[in-house]
Amino acid sequence: MRQPPSHYPGLRFLHSPGPTHVPKAVMDAMSEQPMDMADERLDPLIADCENGLRAIMRTNEAEVFIYSSNGHGVWEAVTVNLAAPGQKVLVASTGHFSDSWALMTEAMGVEVVRTPYREGYPIDPADIEQALKADAKNEIVAVYVVQTDTASSITSDVPAIRAAMDRVDHPALLVVDVVASLAAAPYEMDAWGVDVTLGAAQKGLMCPPGMAFCAANARAIEVAQANPAHRFYWDWKRRRGAPSYKKFCGTPPQSFLQGLRVAIDLLHREGLDNVITRHRRFAEAVHAAVEIWAQGGQIRFVCQVPSARSVSVTTIEIDGVNPDTIRQVAREQFNVSLAGGLGPFFGRAFRIGHLGDLSAPMVLGCLSAVEGTLRMLNVPIGSGAIDAALDSLNAQ
Ligand SMILES: *Cc1c(COP(=O)(O)O)cnc(C)c1O
């Protein structure tokens, strides 16, 4: 057996859709010594993170709760705060991530109603409308929506889902998972009528994995207050207000907060609108390259609706080659980390992450490495994919 090397020179290009590349300023901030719990710098640090997250989610009203956990932890936090065992939530099926969230919710004793899953397509708001209409007694407490399903790389239309809920005048809360889309795709918590938003730090927010958060508006807080489910660590009520020890149900994750504050500051210095525009621009360059690769007949976008293609990640289905081989060659020959297929796409697809702290040469480098890998493996592809990506970048 050939041993993979234990060191690769140069930068490793991290093109997984989370964790993403962490800017040096964020790493540096995280390497500072911890503070004692009464240090006067601690409360402003927490407030800066809460306010910064509110600005990025575009909410003035919602309360922010930060957890030292990953995104899965906040899935649990949201459910245990909003729904008691025996109550119902509606999960909009988007694939792997909605499925995982639904299974976790069921494991907590909450009943889950699912909309039909259509591979390759975003959420159809009509399915949500129909499921809520069928719920004549208003038993559904919340509708769970994943804005971008990171497995399929499909982004759904959250305002259209809100409009569908409003058409049937159902009181369910709208809960949106923006783990893979925040600080990459447009998102407007207040303007879109979202009641709860949940995210994690290691994707568009450019931090190492280990911290996640949610924001709940007054309606959601009210539902949580009336919810009898047993809870403690995740409980929003216990986490409201000072002191900081209470807000985190224990010691605040100071190093992470320091990193997050710097990451948020970087996003604001670039300008949130510019961050969104940059992600759109890079995504279009990636899509331009994939379109050319697809001309060889063995490569396809999983997403069947071009306008629903994610700006964060692109899932590429491939015939005739094991996607793990693509990842291995890209890693070993080009020092580029790609992601594999998840859930229904396991063994069928690989993914290029293109979110977070990225510049155009990083995107072009990744695309060149994928092209080189495909050529090495004799996968038939159209010619000129990198030129097409450059043209796409220059056209904007
Ligand atoms: C990554 C991801 C999660 C899970 O986050 P973890 O931090 O891995 O637990 C949840 N939802 C979406 C859409 C994701 O992309």
Q: What is the DSSP letter of 376?
A: H
Predicted local confidence at residue 10, as pLDDT: 85
pLDDT at 2 over 70: no
Indicate whether 381 and 278 sit together in one domain. yes
Q: Considering only CA atoms, which of 72, 68, 86, 80 is closest in space to residue 216?
A: 80
Note whether 214 and 196 are within 8 A (CB): yes
From 66, 67, 69, 72, give the residue whose CB has the most ligand 1 atoms within 8 Å, as the site to mutate.
Answer: 72
Q: Considering only CA atoms, which of 285, 303, 295, 310 is closest in space to residue 368?
A: 285
In a domain, 2, yes or no: no
Distance 179 CA to ligand 1 centre (A): 6
Q: Considering only CA atoms, which of 185, 379, 389 is closest in space to residue 300?
A: 379
Mean residue pLDDT across the chain: 96
The DSSP bridge partners found for residue 174 are 143
Indicate whether 321 and 245 sit together in one domain. no
The per-residue pLDDT for range 152-187, each reduced to its tens digit, is: 999 999 999 999 999 999 999 999 999 999 999 999
Average pLDDT rounded to a whole number, residues 253-261: 97
In a domain, 298, yes or no: yes
E strand segments, the chain: 13-14, 63-67, 88-91, 111-114, 140-146, 148-149, 154-155, 173-177, 196-200, 212-216, 299-301, 313-318, 336-337, 339-340, 349-353
Question: Which tokens in the block code for residue 27?
Answer: 């790493």
Q: Give the ligand 1 atom nearest the CA of 70.
A: 7
Average pLDDT rounded to a whole number, residues 103-118: 98
Predicted local confidence at residue 172, as pLDDT: 98
Question: Which tokens in the block code for residue 305?
Answer: 């609706």
Indicate whether 205 and 62 sit together in one domain. yes
The model's confidence at residue 244, banded by pLDDT at 50, 70 and 90, is confident
Q: How far, in Å, CA of 150 to CA of 127, rounded?
A: 21
Count of other CB atoms within 10 angstroms of residue 167:
14
From 101, 176, 177, 196, give the residue whose CB has the most ligand 1 atoms within 8 Å, as the site to mutate.
Answer: 177
Identity of the residue numbered 173: L
Indicate whether 225 and 140 sit together in one domain. yes
Backbone torsions φ then ψ of 155, nearest 5 degrees = -105, 130
Q: How far, in Å, CA of 291 to CA of 307, rounded?
A: 14
From 233, 268, 303, the end of a domain falls on 268
Range of the domain at 349: 13-21+272-394
How many domains in the chain?
Answer: 2
Distance 88 CA to ligand 1 centre (A): 22
Indicate whether 355 and 210 sit together in one domain. no
pLDDT at 1 over 60: no
Note whether 124 and 98 are within 8 A (CB): no
In a domain, 148, yes or no: yes
Indicate whether 88 and 149 sit together in one domain. yes
Note whether 347 and 307 are within 8 A (CB): no
Q: In which residue are the tokens 């783990």 written?
A: 179
Distance 76 CA to ligand 1 centre (A): 12
With a 6 Å cutoff on the Cβ, whether 180 touches ligand 1 is yes
Note whether 115 and 123 are within 8 A (CB): yes
Indicate whether 243 and 349 sit together in one domain. no
Predicted local confidence at residue 7, as pLDDT: 79
With a 6 Å cutoff on the Cβ, whether 99 touches ligand 1 is no
Distance 261 CA to ligand 1 centre (A): 21
Identity of the residue numbered 189: M
With a 6 Å cutoff on the Cβ, whether 153 touches ligand 1 is no
CATH number of 313's domain: 3.90.1150.10
Question: Which tokens in the block code for residue 342?
Answer: 């998840």
With a 6 Å cutoff on the Cβ, whether 68 touches ligand 1 is no
Provide the pairing of β-strand 339-340 with 349-353: antiparallel
- Three-point CA angle 28, 268, 358, nearest 5°: 65
CATH number of 82's domain: 3.40.640.10
Q: Give the ligand 1 atom nearest the CA of 72.
A: 9
Indicate whether 120 and 142 sit together in one domain. yes
Cβ-count burial of 1 within 10 angstroms (0-12 exposed, 13-18 middle, 19+ buried)? exposed
Note whether 339 and 351 are within 8 A (CB): yes
Indicate whether 264 and 277 sit together in one domain. no
In a domain, 113, yes or no: yes
Indicate whether 334 and 247 sit together in one domain. no
Q: How far, in Å, CA of 111 to CA of 324, rounded?
A: 36
Distance 155 CA to ligand 1 centre (A): 14
- 190-226 in b/e form (b: 16+ CB < 10 A) is eebbbbbbbbbbbbbbbbbbbbbbbbbbeebbebbee
Spell out the residues 6+ positions from residue 203 whose beta carbon is closer than 8 angstroms to its own.
17, 18, 19, 20, 179, 180, 182, 184, 312, 355, 356
The per-residue pLDDT for range 321-335, each reduced to its tens digit, is: 999 999 999 999 999
Q: Considering only CA atoms, which of 358, 341, 342 is closest in space to residue 350?
A: 341
From 212, 244, 268, the end of a domain falls on 268
Q: Percent of the chain at pLDDT above 70?
A: 99
pLDDT at 280 over 90: yes
Indicate whether 238 and 284 sit together in one domain. no
Q: In which residue are the tokens 């988007």 written?
A: 94
Q: Considering only CA atoms, which of 16, 26, 12, 13 is closest in space to residue 267?
A: 26
Indicate whether 326 and 344 sit together in one domain. yes
Number of helices (H), then strands (E), in the chain:
13, 15
pLDDT at 119 over 60: yes
User: pTM value?
Assistant: 0.97
From 235, 268, 301, the end of a domain falls on 268
In a domain, 189, yes or no: yes
In a domain, 4, yes or no: no
In a domain, 369, yes or no: yes
Spell out the residues 6+ positions from residue 246 whose beta carbon is closer than 8 angstroms to its own.
238, 239
Predicted local confidence at residue 118, as pLDDT: 97
In a domain, 155, yes or no: yes
